Structure 1
Amino acid sequence: MAASADSDAEFWLFGYGQDHRGTPEAPGRVVTLIERSFWETLTDHHDSAEQKVWGIAYRIEAPKVAEVQEYLDIREINGYTIHYTAFHPSDGSPTIKTLVYIGTPENDQFVGPQPPQQLAEHIFRSIGPSGPNKYYLLSLEEALDSLSAESGDGHVKDLAIRVRKLENKASGVGVQAVHDMAINNEPKRVNNTDEQEEMEK
């Protein structure tokens, strides 16, 4: 289903994630939007979905509309439907009508919810054409935190914390406790200990 925007006019695209963070043999994990009615049929492992989704509206200038639409139709159309929705800029600017792709239950790449630790471990080890899946997650966390005072996502942040712990464990970095003891004015260094506790919601 091609977008119905006039090819002689600009349009706005709502962006909320990226792609290519895994391989067909070992697919990574990226965010996707789904209908709330579909989400309510799933058994999820984190808090209820918010009523709004944070992202960025990209302005596609008229001369680039046909090219961008063709690219998006190839990239997104299998397992997605096209919608137009209102985008409310966080700075109070006028509302913008944006095109957005919504995932469907028929999308072969949709795997549904996973326990957070299992998901974090999968993200940590997945690598694709655009780089490690973990960089996608950590960049997403940073981007969401930077959009607005309200835009941080608890589920994304929880996964990012878990992935950082996996990174630390893989690199042999532990939690180091340093206590300054007033003995000969020399600090006493306590041996490293790995942080073992797993964050639970």
Structure 2
Amino acid sequence: MDEFWVFGYGSLMWNPGFEYEERLAARAFGYRRSLCVRSFVHRGTPENPGLVLGLDRGGSCRGVAFKVRGELREPVMAYLHERELVTKVYLERMLPLMLADGRQTRAVGYVVDRAHQQYAGALDVEEASRIVHASTGQSGPNDAYVLNTLSHLREMGIRDLWLEGVGNRVQALQRQDAVAIRS
């Protein structure tokens, strides 16, 4: 059985959770990284949803491609289904990729379902920052999720200007809160 590829654009990049034989920087085409998924459990609540990453239509996205041996396809796909398809906000797709070494391939990836109730749509930096700053779920504060993601992206040499704008604004809101508490 031939190998296959999996594309990660968020936590999958640094915490894949499955065995792979090769890991390369890659760019997916036709989709962009976006805080476009409302989180009702891990980073928010139904009353005060947070935001988590999704791949939304348009542009391209730098991330990581993992090459998986063919005989591991079924267990890796079962793991990914359990991890990514819990609420069905993501759709499994075969994404065209350009690998860092110049090879082109296709990889399993998970894109947001725009018809799903958790789809938040295209938010501007200000609105996304306000939501992120005010939300906490079972996995902790939403702002910690965003700032941790940005830290990992920086370590990997990946720039995401829109997400960086959200992170900068969230940090400014945190500083404002700290000043207000001290006053």
- TM-score bracket for this pair, using the shorter chain length: 0.5 to 0.7
CA positional deviation for 1:156: 0.7
What is the match of residue 96 of structure 2?
86
What is the match of residue 34 of structure 1?
56
The sequence identity of aligned pairs, in percent, is: 28
**Quick one: structure 1 residues 88 and 147, their matched pair in 2 at CA, closer, same or farther if it must change by over 3 Å?**
farther
CA positional deviation for 1:126: 1.4
**Contact 2:114 / 2:121 at 8 angstroms: preserved in 1?**
no
Q: Compare 107-116 and 155-164 and name the one that shifted more.
A: 107-116
1:59 & 1:27 partners in 2: Cα distance? 34
Matched letter for residue 93 of structure 2: H
1:58 & 1:136 partners in 2: Cα distance? 23
CA positional deviation for 1:55: 1.0
**Quick one: structure 1 residues 86 and 136, their matched pair in 2 at CA, closer, same or farther if it must change by over 3 Å?**
same
Matched letter for residue 146 of structure 2: L
Instruction: Structure 1: give runs of 5+ residues left out of the alignment.
Output: 1-7, 37-50, 174-201
Matched letter for residue 29 of structure 1: L
Equivalent of residue 67 in structure 2, options 54, 59, 67:
59
CA positional deviation for 1:63: 5.4
CA positional deviation for 1:62: 4.5
CA positional deviation for 1:104: 2.1
Matched, 1:11 2:33: no
List aligned pairs for 1:172-187, cutoff 5 A: 172=179
List aligned pairs for 1:1-201, cutoff 5 A: 9-18=2-11, 20-36=42-58, 51-62=59-70, 64-77=72-85, 78-90=88-100, 92=101, 94-148=103-157, 151-172=158-179
2:140 & 2:69 partners in 1: Cα distance? 29
CA positional deviation for 1:162: 0.7
Aligned length: 150
Structure number with higher relative contact order (C-alpha < 8 Å, ≥ 6 residues apart): 2
TM-score relative to the length of structure 2:
0.67
**Quick one: structure 1 residues 93 and 103, their matched pair in 2 at CA, closer, same or farther if it must change by over 3 Å?**
same
TM-score relative to the length of structure 1:
0.62
Q: Compare 62-71 and 117-126 and name the one that shifted more.
A: 62-71
2:144 & 2:71 partners in 1: Cα distance? 32
1:162 & 1:128 partners in 2: Cα distance? 20
**Quick one: structure 1 residues 134 and 110, their matched pair in 2 at CA, closer, same or farther if it must change by over 3 Å?**
same
**Quick one: structure 1 residues 154 and 59, their matched pair in 2 at CA, closer, same or farther if it must change by over 3 Å?**
same
SS, match of residue 88 in structure 1: strand
CA positional deviation for 1:74: 4.1
